[in-house]
Amino acid sequence: MYKVKRNNSVKGFGIVKIPQIYNNVIFYENRIDLHKEDGFYEIMKPTKTNSQRYAPLTVDCLNDDTMEATYPIVDLTQEEIEADLALLKQDQILSFEQDTDELIKFMVGERSNEYLIAEKESREFKSFGYPEDDVPFSVSSDALANGYSNQEACDVIIQMSDNWRAAQMMIRSQRLSAKSKTKKAENVEELEEIKGEWEMFLNNLKGQLLQ
């Protein structure tokens, strides 16, 4: 049972927020007690579950100073469980897309066009045999900033580009796999496992990219 006890020995609370809990999500409902406006509510919470919810309250007046409202715990219907799971799946699939966007923004920011130009110029410079009389600015500026030769700078830019493109393909593969598994998940526990695997992958990949 979920009990809300009102004690008139403490004054000052006429409007209270009583948690309405549905499948572990708490919604707050304002209630006004016109007869005991100077009382307060003491919340006693039960153990949460993924398969139960709280039914409408019943109120017992224990004495002049105290009342007790009880929310019986009832099992969710199969329809409610399926509806909740469908919403969780939608949210989780959206989170995979958002996580991908955030990682790309973290690694590249607003400089994607700059990096594409540097990659293109470096690949052309290498294909021409690293000509010292025609060094692209993206290569020469990198060489000057890092103390490299033009050829070294060119090769570093290309290697970093290759690494990032490989990472993007890994992200795509893992994201599509996680989305597919999420759609097929049969319960909340499976969703949590899929989410945990995805987060571990992202953390490991980010660590590798920052080395």
- Dump pLDDT digits (tens) for 12-26: 333 333 444 444 433
The band of 196, judged by pLDDT with boundaries at 50, 70 and 90, is very high
Distance CA 48, CA 126 (A): 62
- Dump pLDDT digits (tens) for 180-194: 999 999 988 899 999
Distance CA 100, CA 82 (A): 28
Q: Could you tell me what percent of the chain has a pLDDT over 90?
A: 52
pLDDT score for 79? 84
Distance CA 34, CA 43 (A): 19
For 121-150, letters b (16+ CB in 10 Å) and e give: bbeebeeeebeeeebbebbbebbeeeebeb
Q: Which residue has the tokens 């973290």?
A: 106
pLDDT score for 52? 56
Distance CA 103, CA 198 (A): 13
Distance CA 135, CA 150 (A): 7
- Dump pLDDT digits (tens) for 34-81: 333 333 334 344 444 455 554 545 455 444 455 555 555 556 677 877
Q: Could you tell me what percent of the chain has a pLDDT over 70?
A: 64
- Given a contact cutoff of 8 angstroms between Cβ atoms, the answer to whether 126 and 138 are in contact is no
Is 60 exceeded by the pLDDT of residue 151? yes
Q: Which residue has the tokens 């970093």?
A: 160
For the chain, give the mean pLDDT.
75
pLDDT score for 67? 52
At CA 205, angle to CA 202 and CA 209, rounded to 5?
A: 135
- Given a contact cutoff of 8 angstroms between Cβ atoms, the answer to whether 135 and 181 are in contact is no
Is 80 exceeded by the pLDDT of residue 207? yes
- Dump pLDDT digits (tens) for 88-129: 999 999 999 999 999 999 888 889 899 999 999 999 999 999
pLDDT score for 109? 86
pTM of the model: 0.63
Handedness of CA 122, 206, 178, 82 (dihedral sign): negative
Handedness of CA 188, 193, 194, 195 (dihedral sign): positive
- Residue 18 has phi, psi (to 5 degrees) of -105, 125
